[in-house]
Chains A and B, each alone.
Chain A
Amino acid sequence: MSKQEQHWGKSKALLIMTLAIWFVFSIGIFLFGAEMNEVTGPFGYPLTYWFTCQGSLGIFVILIFWFANRQEKIDEEFGFSERGDD
């Protein structure tokens, strides 16, 4: 397998993991919205309500930064990263 194919394979694996986490917090948990709202979540808000106000939104922010860092590592590993800018 060429270097480029390996790089793309790893990138695809990262994409799948990112989208899986995204799916859980944008769609998955809301299948059980009514049940989850009975539970008290962070800061004392009902749990589903908290996810819609802050939880899911904040997780998305962290998820994107995590994804960007992981992808950078993959690029560096194969010598595909750009130099000297940010």
Chain B
Amino acid sequence: MIKGNFIDNLPKVYGIYTGGFLGFIIIMSIAEQMGMTAKTIGICFVAFTVAIYAIIGYLSRTAQADAYYVAGRQVPTVFNGMATAADWMSGASFVAMAGGIYFKGYGYMALLVGWTGGYVLVASLLAPYLRKFGCYTVPDFIGTRYGGNLTRFLAVVVLTVASFTYVTAQINATGTIASVALDIPFQYAVYVGLVSILLCSMLGGMRGVTWTQVAQYIVLIIAYLLPVFWISNKMGAGFFPHFMLADEVARIGELEQQFGFVANSKENLALVPKGLAGITKAHSAVNATPWAFISLALAMMMGTASLPHVMMRYFTTPSVKAARKSVGWSLFFIFLLYSSAPMLATLSKLSLIDPSLPTGIIGKSIAEVQSIDWYQNWNQANLMFVSDFNGNGTLELNEFFMGGKAVVLATPEIAGLPYVISGLVAAGGMAAAMSTADGLILAIANAISHDVYYKIIDPKAETAKRLVVARVLLVVIGFAGATIAAMEIQGILGSVIWAFDFAMSGLFFPLVLGVWWKRANREGAIAGMALGLISGAGYLIWVRNGGSGFLGITQLTFGIFGSAVSLVSMVVVSLITSEPSAATQKMVDEVRVPSGKSILGKQH
């Protein structure tokens, strides 16, 4: 099926797939009417979708290097856009983003701006040029442009640090969803998640990951948008929420004024289960300083342009022109979800806090709230909590606490949607986390197998042997990630943001200057990568251990410091050492022109 004319038949294949998935949702909702239990529905959704991905992964198996590393460079723009969107939107985007907006409002929305604006940098500064270069991996570009094994190796180090930080969070998310949907303990669920991830990528490498990511995008976008539109219509908030929620946003502002933000005492807050938060910040008002907002957005934008698992998606397009357009499509598909997250946060918040709505709980008696079915369910899942701090018997705004994930996971139930929607949301979250984890594990394994093993250790290795090494590494890295994820060291969102900061500290300027500054040389790149990563990591450790930081750079934006060090050291060291060879300069000239042969051959 995935041969020859498969590429020409893509719209048809995925059209049938989408229809089949919608049909499956309808069958499940009929089954629910006929009395299928919530638990069975959850298992069906997750098992059915994961099985489909595994089949696609199997059908995409390959024994060719360019198919394994860059999907044969024949992925059409729009489909590559969908695959990138799935690659990009992780468990954090899907499960945690609406929650972050719900609790933190404006200050958090810097992430929305940052995670989209970064694509402008990808399209204009990097993607088309790296595509012209013809590399398999990001370190492949660094190693060839600057020359020498040390530059290549340092790029692999930065890539591994950033991607590994990111991937543990994603495996953690697949584990969380699998443990809820399949009702098994988290420690085992993590490995169930891992096996699902490896099924997609092991046999087909980039080709398998590409076609499963397209399938995963379709599942996750349906799973996100359907509930948002449904809830909005059911609440009477508007047929098309994105354009019609102005009154609801204004109403939340009124209620905030009416209730006021009452600060809780430390003793009271100690009673609240860990990880839950109350509403303490204005919904739509500006609640952060310009620098706090801008620095976070800037760090995320530069991080976006340095994350190898995103960049390598643009190596799979048929041409330079297609790579540019494909970035636009990627962002369009991301926009569909990101612009819906604030709407979901608005609907979720209003339905909970507006006393004039039947679902509103603020102002009701504590006993009444505690007897609501959905409250009991989510309280048991450790995602909701109420307590009568002031002893007046009624629930106040400052006495209601919720986990960030609950905004996406619980709102359908609160709004009275059938359980089939909750099953759908679980499948969507699983798709989001799996697709990102696949991209990340593949990025690390490919960099180590191609750049360290093939280019540095054994340049004469046969293709078959290279691909065996690549697959073994895939499994090893996956298990290492799952083992760390099982330890549950830190939250999903925190580690995702760190990954961006690590990537921008070490890779942003070496990549950008490699194309845009001919004078940049090997010594400069070595200094830029090494000092950037070390100073960024050092700043993070310093702030984590009670350091005060400077210029308002926090542990979430340490990449700004790291990349500044990287830029300065790269420029200074490049200028005090000799300029790159004529051959290298000619190579840069060729990269800047779309036509002609790529720098690296088709098989390399």
Q: Which residues of A contact B (CB under 8 A)?
A: 4, 7-8, 11, 15, 18-19, 22, 25-27, 30-34, 37, 43-46, 48-49, 51-54, 56-58, 60-61, 63-65, 67-68, 71-72, 75, 79-82, 85-86
> Chain A residues with Cβ under 8 A from B123's Cβ?
64, 67-68
B298 at the interface (CB under 8 A from A): yes
Judge whether B321 and A86 touch: CB under 8 Å: yes
B120 at the interface (CB under 8 A from A): yes
Chain A residue nearest to B128 (CB atoms) is: A71
> Chain A residues with Cβ under 8 A from B592's Cβ?
4, 7-8, 11
User: Given A18-B124, A65-B328, A82-B319, does the pair A48, B286 have CB atoms closer than 8 Å?
Assistant: yes
Nearest CB of chain B from residue A21's CB, rounded to whole Å: 8
| Range of interface residues on B (Cβ < 8 Å) | 35 or more
Nearest CB of chain B from residue A73's CB, rounded to whole Å: 11
* With A18-B124, A61-B116 already in contact, 19 other A-B pairs whose C-beta atoms are closer than 8 Å: A7-B592, A18-B120, A22-B124, A27-B297, A27-B298, A30-B294, A48-B106, A48-B286, A49-B106, A52-B112, A64-B120, A64-B331, A67-B123, A72-B321, A80-B594, A82-B595, A86-B77, A86-B318, A86-B325
B22 at the interface (CB under 8 A from A): no
> With A and B bound together, what is the CA distance between A85 and B318 in angstroms?
7
User: Given A27-B297, A65-B328, A81-B321, does the pair A7, B593 have CB atoms closer than 8 Å?
Assistant: yes
Q: B228-263: which have CB < 8 Å to A?
A: 242-247, 249-250
Q: B98-124: which have CB < 8 Å to A?
A: 106, 109-110, 112-114, 116-117, 119-121, 123-124
Between A and B, 19 residue pairs with Cβ closer than 8 Å are A4-B593, A15-B125, A22-B117, A25-B117, A27-B298, A32-B290, A43-B242, A43-B246, A44-B250, A52-B113, A54-B339, A63-B120, A65-B325, A82-B320, A82-B594, A85-B318, A85-B319, A86-B321, A86-B325
Chain A residue nearest to B323 (CB atoms) is: A68
B488 at the interface (CB under 8 A from A): no
Chain B residue nearest to A53 (CB atoms) is: B342
Judge whether A52 and B116 touch: CB under 8 Å: no
> Chain A residues with Cβ under 8 A from B109's Cβ?
52-53
Judge whether A26 and B117 touch: CB under 8 Å: yes
User: Given A27-B297, A33-B106, A60-B119, does the pair A86, B319 have CB atoms closer than 8 Å?
Assistant: yes
Nearest CB of chain B from residue A72's CB, rounded to whole Å: 6
B285 at the interface (CB under 8 A from A): yes
Q: Which of A31, A45, A65 contacts B294, CB < 8 Å?
A: A31
Per-residue A-contact encoding for B451-471, CB less than 8 Å = 1, 0 else: 000000000000000000000
B378 at the interface (CB under 8 A from A): no
> With A and B bound together, what is the CA distance between A33 and B327 in angstroms?
28
> Chain A residues with Cβ under 8 A from B245's Cβ?
45
Q: Which of B114, B120, B290, B595 contacts A75, CB < 8 Å?
A: B595
Chain B residue nearest to A14 (CB atoms) is: B124
**Residue of A37, A58, A82 contacting most chain B CB atoms (<10 Å):** A82
> With A and B bound together, what is the CA distance between A15 and B592 in angstroms?
13
Judge whether A57 and B339 touch: CB under 8 Å: yes
> Chain B residues with Cβ under 8 A from A64's Cβ?
119-120, 123-124, 324, 327-328, 331
Q: B351-376: which have CB < 8 Å to A?
A: none
B58 at the interface (CB under 8 A from A): no
> With A and B bound together, what is the CA distance between A67 and B84 in angstroms?
19
Chain A residue nearest to B124 (CB atoms) is: A18
